């Protein structure tokens, strides 16, 4: 292991952007208030002073306009990092992302790649109401032509951006807003991180817990609590929702025989259903119990703090689901 330092998720993302700007003159950051204001979540704070307004570009309040401009810049040979303030506002750029960025390579017969990276904050838990608390990474994972990554650790937050910028196709990076203040150990002089494979974050033998994003830490806490019941839980972090690393989580479930899927989105039509179905297709005869899902409640996100927490996956929800599968009569 190399040297490490304690850093917040926000600082790791800022380091990633800074390193990309230093490495490649084609890279620039664009979005609402990313310049002298420093970004809504302070990720780009200080970058305009260092790199100037040509490379840290404030945009008008028009997601469709500036996402379209970024796609055009990518087609013209640049390597833009587009910051959409939150996933909630990305719906205003859906046409650009789905009908343009995701389709041009196919529609041009392979002549035109769109090497654009679009970053956006996602998730609830901060009492911002139904219109500012969505987790729509599931939606984007449905679309061929896009890659969808969900870094949870500071190493992944720092290392995935450069890999995404080197990709010839559009990459969407979803950063859970609840992680920005979270500290972690960042590997100093770490290498770029792949954006298409899952990681087993905790080894176990009795049940597999599959998750992504901020729920990784909820699931790790749940796994620790389950040890008090003599249940040894394995935690698999997806890290990428498109492509899904099916082999890694199938292999885990084939070993443990049981599975809980923890998803920040709604259950209906969500990524948890896709994961569950692939397990039925690939690991059915290894299952010793039904597959369980822990997702956000099927409601618009409440504003009141206690109701918001009740609508989101919690440690006790994961623990209860795992106990029910491993010790149904316990």
CATH 1.10.10.10 fits 199-326, yes or no: no
Structure tokens at 113: 């790649």
Per-residue pLDDT band at 330 (split at 50, 70, 90): low
pTM listed for this prediction: 0.96
Percent of the chain predicted with pLDDT > 70 = 99
pLDDT at 78 over 90: yes
Average pLDDT of the segment spanning 236-248: 98
For residues 237 and 215, give the distance between their C-alpha atoms in angstroms, rounded to a whole number: 9
List the Cα angle 77/146/279 in 5-degree steps. Answer: 155
281 included as an active-site residue:
no
**Alpha carbon distances (Å) from 38 to 44, 48, 53, 128:** 5, 8, 12, 21
Q: What is the pLDDT of residues 316-328, one digit of tens each?
A: 999 999 999 999 8
Percent of the chain predicted with pLDDT > 90 = 96
Residue spans of the domains in the chain: they are: 4-187, 199-326
For residue 318, the SS3 value is helix
Element (H, E) at 315: helix 315-326
**Alpha carbon distances (Å) from 155 to 6, 67, 189, 235, 271:** 11, 27, 10, 18, 24
Average pLDDT of the segment spanning 151-168: 97
Strand partners, 326: none
* Nearest residue to 139 via CA among 35, 264, 246, 15: 264
CB environment 49-76: b (16+ within 10 A), e (fewer): eebeeebbbbbeeebeebbbbbbebbbe
Whether 4-187 shares its CATH topology with 199-326 is answered yes
Catalytic-role residue among 63, 83, 137, 237: 63
Catalytic-role residue among 11, 15, 83, 132: 132
Phi-psi region of 239 (alpha: psi -120 to 50; beta: other; left: phi over 0): left
19 included as an active-site residue:
no
Give the per-residue pLDDT at 1.
53
CATH superfamily of 4-187: Thiamin diphosphate (ThDP)-binding fold, Pyr/PP domains (3.40.50.970)
């Amino acid at each position: 292991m190399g040297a490490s330092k304690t850093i917040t998720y926000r600082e790791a993302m800022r380091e990633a952007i800074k390193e990309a700007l230093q490495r490649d003159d084609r890279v620039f950051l664009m979005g609402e208030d990313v310049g002298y204001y420093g970004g809504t979540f302070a990720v780009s704070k200080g970058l305009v002073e260092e790199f100037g307004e040509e490379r840290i570009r404030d945009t008008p309040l028009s997601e469709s306009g500036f996402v379209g401009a970024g796609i055009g810049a990518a087609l013209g040979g640049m390597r833009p990092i587009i910051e959409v303030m939150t996933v909630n506002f990305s719906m205003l750029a859906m046409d650009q992302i789905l009908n343009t960025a995701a389709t041009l390579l196919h529609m041009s017969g392979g002549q035109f790649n769109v090497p654009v990276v679009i970053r956006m904050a996602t998730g609830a838990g901060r009492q911002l109401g139904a219109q500012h608390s969505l987790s729509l990474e599931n939606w984007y994972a449905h679309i061929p032509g896009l890659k969808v990554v969900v870094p949870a650790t500071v190493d992944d937050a720092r290392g995935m951006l450069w890999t995404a910028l080197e990709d010839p196709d559009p990459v969407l990076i979803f950063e859970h807003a609840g992680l920005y203040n979270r500290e972690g150990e960042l590997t100093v002089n770490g290498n770029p991180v792949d954006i298409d494979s899952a990681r087993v974050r905790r080894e176990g033998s009795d049940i597999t817990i599959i998750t992504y994003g901020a729920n990784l830490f909820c699931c790790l806490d749940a796994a620790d609590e389950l040890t008090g019941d003599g249940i040894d839980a394995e935690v698999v972090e997806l890290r990428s929702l498109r492509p899904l690393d099916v082999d890694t989580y199938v292999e885990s479930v084939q070993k443990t025989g049981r599975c809980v899927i923890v998803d920040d989105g709604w259950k209906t039509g969500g990524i948890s259903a896709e994961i569950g179905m692939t397990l039925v297709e690939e690991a059915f005869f290894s299952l010793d119990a039904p597959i369980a899902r822990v997702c956000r409640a099927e409601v618009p996100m409440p504003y009141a703090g206690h109701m918001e927490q009740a609508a989101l996956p919690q440690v006790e929800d994961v623990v209860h689901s795992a106990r029910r599968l491993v010790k149904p009569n316990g």
